[in-house]
Amino acid sequence: MLNRRQFLQLAATTSALVPVKIAQARSRSLLKPARLKPGAMVGIISPASATFVKEELDIVLDAVRGLGLVPKLGSHVRDRYGYLAGTDRDRAADINQFFQDPQVAALLPIRGGWGCSRILPYLDYEVIRQNPKIIIGFSDITALILGINARTQLVTFHGPHGLTSWRKSQTEDFRRVLFAGETVTIANPKDGDDSDRLMQVKNRIQTITPGIAKGKLIGGNLSVLSGIVGSPYLPNMAGAILFLEDTGENIYRLDRLMTHLKIAGVFDKLAGFIFGQCPGCTPDADYGSLTLEEVVWGHIQPLKIPAYYGAAIGHVENIVTLPIGLDVEIDANAGIIRMLEAAVV
């Protein structure tokens, strides 16, 4: 039995250790996956929506082979559970298995859709931390790449999934970052239609607040990211460069999502901000609407941090490969992102 003095001493010692353990967890060094090499094996996963058409899976396999890589299907990749690609535990099990498999160098989702947030509690983050590998995707995969980065400090990648276009420019960007380990500069491409114009019409950048900022790059789909705010699966946003994109949302809904980030304190912590593309994001009001520009400027301009709008990031034809959790520098005047170090080893 402890007397009162012994109990108070023990309680004080224990409470003093808690912040230390939290600080140690937050200060874990950044983990980088190994770069891809020709002939490396890629685990094909289906962490979100189901794939109902067999031909789509065949297309993904051909894309992986076209990259000079060897595809390996997850055990549950053909499963269906309603609109999901199997149960939450089974979808997570494929990810855990591939991180454990020493032959697998990278994990590539077939598609996004919906479902990644549901599997986050079932991932084995210690296994992932002990076996750092490339995992990439966008849209609903935002929850997966952010959750893994938040819990393990592994650099993950916002980039193409299996059913994206894999055209020349997308493939070259993927290779430069993940095969060659280059420190690339990401800027909007010049559209071919603009080559004989006096001015640029497509892929224009608008500066919200001029300046240069440095910080770890965090971001993805606005709807998905907003849904994990307040959970242990959102990375620490202090000093981060946040990028957001979305698709097919009414403007008032985008305002609601950005307001959520604002009142949750996410915006207050940022060093810089990028808004990407939002195809199909239109007003839905009988008597008028804010424009998307007015919504974004209204939330971001008061922060007085370097910020720009119109980056070629999101549900667009060529998906750029962006490192999540890696330090970058942005120039809000020029609309560019510079990687400050290689994302792979």
98-136 residues labelled b (16+ CB within 10 A) or e (exposed): bbeeeebbbbbbbbbbebbbbbbeebbbeebbebbbbbb
Cα 268 versus chain centre, distance: 20
Q: Which residues contact 192 (CB under 8 A, 6 or more apart)?
A: none
Known catalytic residues are 139, 245, 315
Q: What one-letter code names the amino acid at 107? A: L
Rg (CA), the chain: 21
Q: What one-letter code names the amino acid at 165? A: S
SS3 call for 52: coil
Residue with tokens 């094996």: 41
Contact 300, 208 (CB under 8 A): yes
The rounded distance, in Å, linking the Cα atoms of 33 and 78 is 27
Longest dimension (CA), the chain: 86
